[in-house]
A and B are shown apart, each in its own frame.
Chain A
Amino acid sequence: DGGITQSPKYLFRKEGQNVTLSCEQNLNHDAMYWYRQDPGQGLRLIYYSQIVNDFQKGDIAEGYSVSREKKESFPLTVTSAQKNPTAFYLCASSIQGAETQYFGPGTRLLVL
């Protein structure tokens, strides 16, 4: 089946620890995105990538890092510099630009 997968579904982070969230798509989409969602809020853009080996900061990139070594994969690392990482993280992809984006099931990150 074609689609976007994210793993893990739930992730627990200890203080000072870096954690990496996985996002994979087999839709042959060029562009991929990471969003953060806090309770009662809309989605806010963390990073996006329109092509392999290139990515751009979104509105709330501080404390996060990404890589785009393959078209299918766009992992997000939540670093220890992110002081309030507890949130729901959603990955998306699109064919061109951001006209219509398709979303993965999300990862819930909790701080221990």
Chain B
Amino acid sequence: GIQVEQSPPDLILQEGANSTLRCNFSDSVNNLQWFHQNPWGQLINLFYIPSGTKQNGRLSATTVATERYSLLYISSSQTTDSGVYFCAGLNQAGTALIFGKGTTLSVSS
């Protein structure tokens, strides 16, 4: 079955709007992380969040490991937030990350 599933696949926002991205993950995946891929392809770590809540500026993330989901919140979105957001979890062997298919965010001014 699908190990890491993200929703929605696409999201279009006006600048200043807030959004929530969701990641569901199976029992075979742990140690959730969130990444942002900019339009040029560079992948940037946002959060390493196996459980609990973290905040970094306008972004915050919450993982409820017992219910196998994680949420990424973007507040007061800016055009520079555009790109693809991936969540990924560590496989059971602890050797590699399993990625979801991503949420493509487009923020217009």
Binding site for B on A (CB under 8 A): 33, 35, 40-45, 48, 50, 56, 58, 88, 90, 92, 97-103, 105-106, 108
Contacts and interface: CB of A to CB of B under 8 A. Distances in A.
Main secondary structure on B side of the interface with A: strand
Q: How large is the interface on B (under 10, 10 to 19, 20 to 34, 35 or more residues)?
A: 20 to 34
B41 A45 contact: no
Interface of B: 4, 31, 33, 35, 40-45, 48, 86, 88, 90-91, 94-97, 99-102
30 contacts: A33-B97, A35-B99, A41-B102, A42-B86, A42-B100, A43-B43, A43-B86, A43-B88, A43-B97, A44-B99, A45-B97, A48-B95, A50-B95, A56-B95, A88-B41, A90-B41, A90-B43, A92-B43, A97-B90, A98-B90, A98-B94, A98-B97, A99-B31, A99-B48, A99-B90, A100-B33, A100-B48, A103-B44, A106-B41, A106-B43
